[in-house]
A = this chain, B = another copy of it.
Amino acid sequence: MGSSTRTLKIGIIGFGTFAQFLAKTMIKQGHLIRATSRSDYSGFPGVHFFRDMEEFMGLEHDVILICTSIVSVSQVVKSIPFHRLKKPLLFADVLSVKEHPRQLLLQEVPHDSDLVCTHPMFGPESGKDGWKDLPFMYEKVRVKDETLCSSFLAIFENEGCKMLEMSCEEHDRLAAQSQFLTHTIGRVLSEMEIWNTPIDTKGFEKLIQVKESSTRDSFDLYSGLFIHNRFAKQQLHNLESALERVKETLEARINNN
């Protein structure tokens, strides 16, 4: 293992649900976690929280991890006081869309710092019993310090994640037809106000689970999957027209009866 188990100083920007979930495992692995966020999370166990972004950026970090919502990331990153940085380091993000933060970070992050875009394909619910075999996608967008980047990725590797190196574009293409579609169906089921019945089939029980896990995530997250993944609109359209075709087939069947 060597350097891959090195202790890292990780600074987290955006310390909501998902960041807190990640932080617990990072702390367990022995890393030093500092965080800043719009809201006040002082007192979160094991984390040194800074209300002041200037002060936070002036600390010595190995990695700065962006964990804000998709829809706020542009505003958040553009307001980071990069000039306060003590030394070049690794910037990473965990947003559920990837082309958008990739482009933004390439634009905003100082050129002497490295960049890795990642998406852990799990959350506080699906990852509550550990991260073993859960997919972790990443693209090394700009990496000069391979050792540092490996040490960061090792956080997920050491927990047993299925590590997938993939371009941000490929991620967004696949995630539009898997994750965005799943969230959309979950939100639709929630709109329909469907509930368990005494005569649920196994299949329906699965839909109820999809509904519950989709609506556990924020609407910011869901709308981010749509607004900032350029492949999502097409999938929404595909869903609508597939439903239309299924309906037409049923109606044709009635008329032939």
Contact = CB atoms under 8 A, between A and B. Distances in A.
Interface of A: 71, 119, 121-122, 126, 135, 137, 164, 166, 171, 174-175, 177-179, 181-189, 191-192, 194, 197-204, 206-207, 209-210, 213-214, 223, 226-227, 236, 238-240, 242-243, 245-247, 249-250, 253-254, 257
B239 A199 contact: no
A65 B203 CA distance: 26
Contacts of A226: 250, 253-254
A122 B204 CA distance: 11
B210 A214 contact: no
A119 B206 CA distance: 20
Contacts of A203: 126, 179, 182-183, 186, 209-210, 213-214
**Could you say how many copies of this chain the assembly holds?**
2
Given A206-B209, A240-B243, A164 B199 contact: yes
Given A206-B207, A226-B250, 18 more contacts: A122-B202, A164-B198, A166-B198, A174-B199, A182-B204, A182-B206, A183-B203, A186-B203, A188-B242, A189-B242, A192-B242, A203-B209, A203-B210, A206-B206, A206-B210, A207-B210, A227-B250, A243-B243
B204 A178 contact: yes
Main secondary structure of the interface of A (DSSP, over half): helix
Given A223-B250, A227-B254, A135 B199 contact: yes
A-B pairs with lowest CB-CB distance, top 10 = A191-B242, A126-B202, A178-B204, A206-B206, A174-B197, A182-B203, A223-B253, A182-B204, A192-B242, A188-B242
Given A121-B199, A174-B199, A240 B247 contact: yes
